[in-house]
Structure formats: structure tokens, C-alpha cells
Amino acid sequence: MRILVTGANGYLGQGVVKSLLELGHEVIAADFATDHVDQRAKRIDCDCFGIEDPYEYFGKPDALLHMAWRDGFVHNSDAHIEDLPKHYRFIKTMIESGIPQVAVMGSMHEIGFYEGSIDEHTPCNPMSMYGIGKNALREATELLCKQKNVTFQWLRGYYIVGNSEYGSSIFSKITAAVHEGKKEFPFTMGQNQYDFVDYPEFCDQVAAAVSQKAVTGIINIGSGKPEKLADRVERFIKENHYDIALKYGAFPDRPYDSKAVWGNTGKIEKIMQGLKG
């Protein structure tokens, strides 16, 4: 397939482009700059939102994987609401021009405060601007796809574990702190349980989901298992042989963070099995 990936130069985009290339796809990687993107991809430096006919411009791809998003880790940034019309217009233009498949990167923050296993039927009550923005785009994209009979996939990401210092997750921040020579890292009590997925596995799951059309709708990208934040972070420090200690209780938990939440992975397991089969 020829797959257009927007936001390809981002922390997640870079890994997903690699995974798509490994599956043998032709990848058109678009971002403001593409200097960190795998050179096997066709790299295009541009503002996707400023292109009049993006479907034609990007060579009529078979699928759009829309990963572009500003301030993903700044949960109450105004950008989540301000950029929403741009995302909507871009996706709408692609659909109306004839793209047959649209996949968009979502987030478990669309759900809001919830405890237990999340599937595609779990109600969404987002409690941050990030969650509100993603959830609104999900609803709009699904509606647009239905109207034009386009394959719709919403890839709901969970908590990604990776040792890149360039992300904004707690794991990236710990890596950056180690590189700065710090010996202590301020932390919450770490008792909340989340669905943690390792970066390479996350990228492979996203690539696999877009590579097929049999499984559609909301697809959870995660491990399907809850684990205490403290346990996963301590394990991460050990796995990477970092000389740093957690300072427990330095920060309170965020009010919208669930005590225990994880994704139902029935759909992604089916996709991964199909890929192996």
C-alpha cells in the first residue's frame, strides 16, 4: 500500500514509519521537517493544513494515517481546541477527494476518569482539552467516513514506554534527567495502574492496524494489562541501568487520572494474528 503519514517526524511518527516500511509499504512521510524520518520513506517537508488539494499533492495514497498533533503532552494547551478545525478540514478534504481508508491516532484520554477495561463501547467523558480535542475529531471523522463509505480506524493509544529523551512522557523525562546527571527524580506515589506498551510494540501495532481493512472502528493500541506506575517506572530504571532514584510523593496524582485502567486488546490481537497467519 501507499500510506501517507502526517506528523511523521514526531516521537511516535518516526517509529511507525519504520514499522510500515518493514511491512513493505510505500510511505509518504509528511511534517514541517522530516530530518528524523527513515530515509526509505518519501519525505515531504510541508504544512499539511496549508495544501489546497492534499490527496492529489501526496500522490493519491491508499490510506491516510493522521498522527499530526500539537502539544500532545500539554493536556490543557489551547492548541487542542484551536487546531481542531484544521484537522477536520484536512481529513474532510482527503475523504471528499477519494481516499479509501482513514486512520487517526487517538488517545485513552478521550475516556476521562474511568476504572476497568476500555473497549470501543466505553463512554467518553474527557477531562482535559487534549481529550476533548481528540474525542471531537474522532466523532467528526467517523461521521465523515460513514457518509462516503470510507474505511474508518481510530487507533486509541495507551501509555508508551520508551527511552528517548525527546518525548514528554515520564519515561522520556527520566531519561533526560539521567543524561543531565541527576540522581533523584520527583514522583507521585505511583499507585495508579495503567496499560503500558513498549515503544516498538506500539509502532508495530499501529502499522499492522493500518495494513488491513477487516478490523475497523476504535482499535486499542496497548498491552491489555494494568500495571502500577511505580512498578513500571522502577522496572524501566532497572532495564536501562539508570543510576537514579524516585522521590515518592513529590507530586500529587492528577485528578483525572484513573486508579486502574487498561485497554481491551481483542481487536489488535486479531489483527496481529492475521499478520502472522
Residues with catalytic function = 130
Identify the CA nearest to 131 among candidates 65, 76, 192: 76
Provide the edge-to-edge strand list for the sheet that holds 159-161: 159-161, 193-198, 226-228
β-pairing, 2-6 vs 26-31, is: parallel
Angstrom distance (rounded) from CA 182 to CA 175? 10
DSSP class of residue 3? E
Backbone angles phi, psi at 44, to 5 degrees: -125, 115
Q: Cβ atoms within 10 A of the Cβ of 24, count?
A: 8
Angstrom distance (rounded) from CA 145 to CA 115? 30
Considering Cα of 83, then 221, then 13, then 21, what sign does the dihedral take? negative
State whether residue 8 is helix, strand or coil. coil
Angstrom distance (rounded) from CA 5 to CA 188? 35
How many angstroms from the chain centroid is the CA of residue 82? 20
